[in-house]
Structure 1
Amino acid sequence: MTAQNVPQIFPPEVLARLRAAVEIDPTLTVESFADPCAGGALADTEILITGWGCPRIDEAVLDTAPALRAILHAAGSVKDLLSPAVWERGIVVSSAADANALPVAEYTLAMVLLAGKDLLAQRDRFRTRRAFPQGEIVPGIGNFGRRVGIVGASRIGRRLIELLKPFDLSVSLADPYVDATEAAALGVRLLPLDDLLRTSDIVTVHAPQTPETHQLIGRRELALMPTGSVLINTARGGLLDHDALVDELRADRLGAILDVTDPEPLPVDSPLFDLPNAFITPHLAGSQGNEVARLGLAVTQEAERLAHGGELAHAVDHAVLERTA
């Protein structure tokens, strides 16, 4: 994290708790481990707090931090941040990914409900026509019994399942690592991906990005989706074939709500900016504004646990890291 972000992630009341738990200099922030300040501090560091933009922590960095016993990440995934050597040396790792999952799930919930009401298209029609549609009831919209398909029971996927429970929606899940018993406990219907795509009005993607999930939703998969259905992606842009998606959007067969794209950001001439059935936001579903303080609080609570000899509540298991978001 940058020095400018520290007061947002650790506002005064959170920072006070952190300083009560561990000895820390909140003015010492570095963006490169080659920084001379980093070298001097790492020699005695037992707990390293990291965040967005942290350079990779590899064997060379670890060699400069012989006392290091814990890394507390005030952001989401550590997949591209930490070398396997971290776990090999017995260093425990915690991530605020659970805390970051909540705003993504909240964003997705909002988009599911708005998509069910066809709100974005209805807004544009109203803006153009300046008149209500003929008749008192608009056909084909609404969230009573709307079929929602969730691709991936990740942290965010599971959070979303919880948030969807109060609504009169029919929720299905596709995830190769979830069995029927677990799906029943989650309160969702487990389906193969193809069946989920065929039978959902709204499909929302929450799978991790791995070599196996690259363009998980490609041309064939998009063709399975019913005409008029909507695809939401708040996971990673590489999970979708964007060229195939653009073709479906141009044919006015599907709608799309994308908070992540591939590449990111999109080229300025991308048709996704102008297609009326595409709604694009600039990767803001995750923690933003006052939400980042939740990340700092999660790290502070982990530091308190360590200080009292407790176990981390959000430890990262290296054995499953590759198949998690």
Structure 2
Amino acid sequence: MPQRPSALFALADRNLPLLFPPATLARLTELVDIDPALTVTDFGDPALGERLAGTEFLITGWGCPVVTPTVLDGLPRLRGVLHTAGTVKALLDPEVWRRGVAVSTAAAANALPVAEYTLGVILLLGKDVLGLHDEYRATRAFPPGLTHRDIGNAGRRVGIIGASRIGRRVIELLRPFDFEVLLHDPYVTEAEARALGVRAVDLDTLLASSTIVSVHAPATPETRHLLDAARLALLPDGAALVNTARGSLVDTEALTKELVTGRIRAVLDVTEPEPLPAESPLFRLPNVLLTPHVAGSLGNELSRLGRTAVDELERLLTGRPLAYGVELAELARTA
């Protein structure tokens, strides 16, 4: 029997059982020689020297140390990095690509729960479930808002900022519903937007004409505080902002000032800073729902990320192209 390639886990050991439950781990160990009891969080550990020298594949994830040129020098046989999470921007030095190492990420698999969270939130916001819940709890009587003309999801206009993996998945999930969907993404043409079933508009138009806005753009220097005070002021009274992307895309101080007035609503799974200071008004405002960065893969959803990495490994070993490969040129404008 030919010798199996050598692989190594480089991630926090607490996640390993969820990422690689027994059936997935069995698949992995059939493909490569890997020690499930060894999870690397420090490439500088002297005890790893011989192990690293023979490693052909790194299975990485949350808790993986940065792969620097020095680390690569100790991995002369490295052929692939298979990441069981989303972005690899902060994890891999560009030298990884320059040395011809294949890189894959489970970002597409992680996009699904984020999009599902977003869909659920949009539907509930359209029915004003959060506001009506508070009123019902306070009065113990059916709120008069049940007949209010601004409540409901019939023909509601939803604005999507960013046709990222998650943004596109949200658009797909919204398709069966009776929404008009606007999209702002500087890299998407009007023809491409039509193919997605949405209407491409500039950012200011999207903000001024959408009653629910969901943020799915990557965090880059160009998108920092993309939604500043001036742009947040464009949102119509009663509009809602959903952010499951990164907190840095929204000016937190400006958003807090808007929310304190009660003029708009927000559902925030990410913030800047994260977590917010304990004294932040956002914890107390009735028009704000804060969740602790839970939209992405959690619990049993992590197994989907592990399966993705094993699928990608199988592709590499059988000479097929990666389904979710990451190219160095993409990093500047992706998450």
Task: Give the shorter-chain TM-score range.
Answer: over 0.9
> Would you say 1:265 and 2:270 are equivalent positions?
no
Q: Which residue of 1 aligns with 2:114?
A: 104
> Would you say 1:239 and 2:249 are equivalent positions?
yes
- Would the alpha carbon gap of residues 61 and 200 (structure 1) be closer, same or farther in structure 2, given more than 3 Å must change? same
Residues 245-256 of structure 1 aligned to structure 2 (within 5 Å): 245-256=255-266
Unmatched segments (≥5 aa) in structure 2: 1-10
Residues 6-155 of structure 1 aligned to structure 2 (within 5 Å): 6-134=16-144, 137-155=147-165
Counterpart among 210, 214, 225 of residue 215 in structure 1: 225
Tell me how far 1:259 sits from its aligned partner: 0.2
Q: Which residue of 1 aligns with 2:238?
A: 228
Secondary structure of the 2:157 match is strand
Tell me how far 1:208 sits from its aligned partner: 0.5
> Would you say 1:294 and 2:304 are equivalent positions?
yes
Q: Which residue of 1 aligns with 2:318?
A: 308
Tell me how far 1:205 sits from its aligned partner: 0.3
> Would you say 1:191 and 2:197 are equivalent positions?
no
**Per-residue deviation, residues 56-89 of structure 1 (Å, max 9, x unmatched):** 1010000000000100000000011110000010
Distance 2:146 2:181 in 1: 29
Distance 1:136 1:81 in 2: 49
**Per-residue deviation, residues 173-214 of structure 1 (Å, max 9, x unmatched):** 000000011101101000000000011000000000111100
Distance 1:233 1:38 in 2: 41
Report the TM-score when normalising by structure 1: 0.98
Q: Could you tell me which amino acid in structure 1 is paired with residue 238 of structure 2?
A: G
> Would you say 1:281 and 2:298 are equivalent positions?
no
Distance 1:131 1:247 in 2: 31
- Any conservation in 2 of the 1:205–1:234 contact (CA below 8 Å)? yes
Tell me how far 1:42 sits from its aligned partner: 1.0
Tell me how far 1:283 sits from its aligned partner: 0.2
- Any conservation in 2 of the 1:22–1:307 contact (CA below 8 Å)? no
- Any conservation in 1 of the 2:85–2:105 contact (CA below 8 Å)? yes
Distance 1:129 1:120 in 2: 15
- Would the alpha carbon gap of residues 132 and 304 (structure 1) be closer, same or farther in structure 2, given more than 3 Å must change? same
Q: Could you tell me which amino acid in structure 2 is paired with residue 289 of structure 1?
A: G
Tell me how far 1:36 sits from its aligned partner: 3.0
Structure with larger RCO (C-alpha < 8 A, sep 6+): 1
Distance 1:40 1:199 in 2: 60
Q: Could you tell me which amino acid in structure 1 is paired with residue 51 of structure 2?
A: A
Tell me how far 1:138 sits from its aligned partner: 3.6
Secondary structure of the 1:5 match is helix
Q: Could you tell me which amino acid in structure 2 is paired with residue 151 of structure 1?
A: I
Tell me how far 1:135 sits from its aligned partner: 8.0
Q: Could you tell me which amino acid in structure 1 is paired with residue 128 of structure 2?
A: D
Secondary structure of the 2:300 match is helix
Counterpart among 161, 165, 168 of residue 175 in structure 2: 165
Unmatched segments (≥5 aa) in structure 1: none
- Any conservation in 2 of the 1:174–1:192 contact (CA below 8 Å)? yes
Identical columns (%):
59
**Per-residue deviation, residues 266-293 of structure 1 (Å, max 9, x unmatched):** 1111111011111000000000000000
Tell me how far 1:37 sits from its aligned partner: 3.9
Distance 1:95 1:133 in 2: 47
- Would the alpha carbon gap of residues 134 and 108 (structure 1) be closer, same or farther in structure 2, given more than 3 Å must change? closer
Distance 1:189 1:62 in 2: 45
